[in-house]
Structure 1
Amino acid sequence: EQTLIVKIKPSGVHELVSRGFSVELWAKVIRMGLRQALNLVGGTTFQGIQSWKEADCAYKPNTFRPYENDWPTLVIECGVSESLNRLRVESRWWLENSVEGVNIVLLFSISKKARSIHIEKWEMATHSSPHVAQAGLSHLIGTPTKIQEVDISGPVVPTDESAGTTPIVTGAPLELDFTKIFLRQPVQGCSEGSIIFTEQEL
Structure 2
Amino acid sequence: MDSDIRKSISVVLTASLAALAWYGSYLPMQKSYAYINMLQSLGNVQTWDQFYQLATTPLEMVSPIGQEELVRNFGGTVAMRIVQTNGSNPQIMDQIFEMVNRYMQPILANGRGLSFNQNIYMMGALNQNAYLSTKDTKYLDAAEKYFLQGLTKSPSRPQFLYSLFDIYRTKGDKVKAREIADKITAIWPDDTRVEEALRQLDAITTASSTPTTTKKKAQ
Give the structure with the higher percent strand. Answer: 1
TM-score calculated relative to the size of structure 1: 0.30
TM-score calculated relative to the size of structure 2: 0.28
RCO (CA 8 Å, sep 6+): is it higher in 1 or 2?
1
